[in-house]
Amino acid sequence: MVSRHDNPPLLIEWLVILVFAGTALVLVVNVSDGTILKPAILYLVTALLAAVSLSRSLEAGEFRANLSRMHLAFLAYIVLAAVSLLKAQNLKLGATAFIELVCYFALFAACAELSTDRGARERLVRSFIAVSLLAGLAGVLQLYLASSPFGSYIPKERGTVSTFGNVTYFAGFLAPMLPIVASRIMTGRRVRQRILLGLLMMLMTYMLITTEARSGWAGAIAGIVTLILLSSRSGKTKWMMLGSLLAIGLVLIIGFPQMVHQRLLATFETGPASSVTRRLYFYRGAWSAFLDSPVIGQGLGNFTLFLPKFREPDYWLARSEDIVAHAHNEFLELLSETGAAGFIALMAILYQYGRSVARGLKTPDGNDRICLAAFASGIVAILVDNLASMNLRTVPVAVAFWMIAGLSLRNEGCKTFSFAISLPPSFRALRFAPYLAFGLFLVWYVPRVWNSYSAQRFALEGALLRFQNKGPESSVKYAQALRHDPDLAEIRLYLAAELAHESLYREARKNIDTILMRYPYYPKARFVLAISAFETGDTDAALRSIHDEMKIENSPQTLYYASYMEERAGHRDRECGDLTTLLLNAVRGASTDFAAEAIDGLDGACGRGDSARDKAGLIAGVRRTFAGDVKLLVAIGGFYEQSGMLAEAESTFTQALALRPGDSQIMHRLTHLGRIVNGRNRGN
């Protein structure tokens, strides 16, 4: 944004390309999170970009800036995001998100400056195409290796991840790149060039389909349709292009029937474990967080921290993960984190962008209009994708978004705001100071990146040992990971759970206390804390912790252990309530976890006679829901027997025996039950 000359230096252009290529293509193997270097690349290269710009300004003897209304809206967005940190409970998370936002502004400003140079603009578009090609080839290599003898060494994913670490991230990158590649086919002068670009587009489309990411599909379709509508002024041409797009879509559906049909049908599933139901928990939690602080939100970057506070505790019914990093809807996440203030600022950015594109599309140059239409289509693709994904919170997609937005401003006809600050001649001697500062930053930051890498490597080794049921060995690896990065809350929770399993309860409590200092609503943390407190004789602390945990999540495991603690403390009414809730949730979520144990304890907790009969309707519902589960049927039969409902007990045991003929335990229970019935009959 600040330059000595009218045309920005070539170094800035190559630094921008380096950010784009590095964040998209660099992936680390043999670690828990293969994307750990992507933010580091963003920070380092944008810091160097800032150093170059500042050095040139010092050499020129003045600071100059030319700001559009979109620049000002972006700066307002940054300021309001900073204000939201007043509510943030974890300032480190907030600071990280804020720094990323500043980096994106630097890239946006650099691309806005580069957009005035046709040659630079052309080279940046070529970099988009080159990186898309390399990412596509990496995806092909992944698919090939997965089907080769080396397939056992390739991580099994739902779809293709390429160099992005996740199928959704890869799809989020491909969606905006497709209309850009398509625009080059439309403007290409050579047949050979068009053919090669057509082959690349086919490769990218195939990769996008193999990701099985529906939001990415929707984003790509929206982007291509937008390109068709904006690139041509002829209605006939638009209809021909839309018809061609429809034909291509039908071919793809026919070519990939099972994959496409399954994913599309899953969109309309509304069962308790459907992806739609799972995301509704995220959406409702984000909306509740916004309503709790509607002006400035809960704090930029703190979504993963505050969501458990506002999410319904029965989210596990949808088979949802405990820790959710993002809302899978950019606008809801923005509202929850930065409130209405941040949301309005982003809407102002998009509004100014739309005005800029509308003016630019009036150009008489057809190729220039198609190029601008492609950029606008890429923005549309990302926004549509992020209605049901989190890709704008991933570094590669966010970098692409703000680069494309900056490159689109070359035709802006809106009013701009310019200023210049003259510097004393002596300041020219400081022109190398920015590079020195960058060097110091490098010396400080690179060891931290290495620590993050080491922590993720040990975390992966610990996870592999944990899956092999090698608890003590996994604890050693987890402890090593935390020595390199103490902020890995999930790893610390695993370590605490393993320490509790090894009866090292005091050490487990120390680790949980550390987690709760940074993440006060971390799911499962208070569960481990309650177990540790209970086993060390601190019953009151255990009950407080388990009750607080049930406000965050009321999974079967939590409810069962809560009932056990209540029983040991003599609170039978609470024990009865916990077991009842467990069984009600079992029916709602079709989950058998701890259901048999709950039924076994229900009679003692809720009493016999009339109290037990009051639960007969609930037990009957469990029996209907799990009519094929022998273990549950045996437990239900035992409940009926203890409650004196002998006819129901006999029919339940008979039902279980029909599922498992010849089972000696069930036959013994039936024989014993028959003796009781005969004894009663003789007594009468």
Q: What percent of the chain has pLDDT over 90?
A: 64
The pair phi, psi for residue 298, each rounded to 5°, is -95, -5
Q: Residue 62's beta-bridge partner residues?
A: 422
Nearest 5°: CA angle at 106, between 115 and 164? 90
Question: Bigger pLDDT: 512 or 145?
Answer: 512
- Looking at the predicted structure, is the pLDDT value of residue 153 above 70? no
- SS3 string, 523-581, reads CCHHHHHHHHHHHCCCHHHHHHHHHHHHHHCCCHHHHHHHHHHHHHHCCHHHHHHHHHH
Enter the tokens of residue 115: 């957009």
Q: What is the pLDDT of residues 274-299, one digit of tens each?
A: 778 889 999 999 999 999 999 999 99
Confidence label for 583 from pLDDT (cuts 50, 70 and 90): very high
Burial of residue 129 (CB within 10 Å: 0-12, 13-18, 19+) is middle
Question: By the 8 A CB rule, do 37 and 45 touch?
Answer: no
Residue type, 252: L
Helices (H), 361-470: 366-385, 395-407, 433-467
Over the stretch 540-549, which tens digit does the pLDDT of each residue have?
Answer: 999 999 999 9
Under DSSP, the state recorded for 189 is -
How far is it, in rounded angstroms, from Cα 494 to Cα 492? 5
- Give the whole-angstrom CA distance, residue 38 versus residue 29: 13
Task: Give the pLDDT of residue 453.
Answer: 95
Q: What does the pLDDT average to over 543-558? A: 96
Percentage of the chain modeled with pLDDT above 70: 88
Residue range 658-670: mean pLDDT, rounded: 89
Q: Do 377 and 226 form a contact (C-beta atoms < 8 A)?
A: yes
pLDDT at 596 over 90: yes
How far apart, in whole angstroms, are the C-alpha atoms of residue 216 and residue 397?
A: 12
Q: List, for residues 505-517, the tens digit of each pLDDT value.
A: 999 999 999 999 9
Q: Which domains does the chain have, with CATH numbers?
A: 10-430 (no CATH), 457-554 (1.25.40.10), 567-684 (1.25.40.10)
pLDDT for residue 643: 84
- The region of weakest confidence among 185-199, 252-266, 594-608 is 252-266
Q: Which of 1-5, 41-45, 168-172, 430-434 has the lowest mean pLDDT?
A: 1-5
Q: What is the pTM of this model?
A: 0.90
CA distance 448 to 451: 5
State the average pLDDT for the chain. Answer: 88
d(CA 267, CA 290): 26
What are the residue ranges of helices labelled H in 188-274? Answer: 191-211, 214-231, 235-255, 257-267
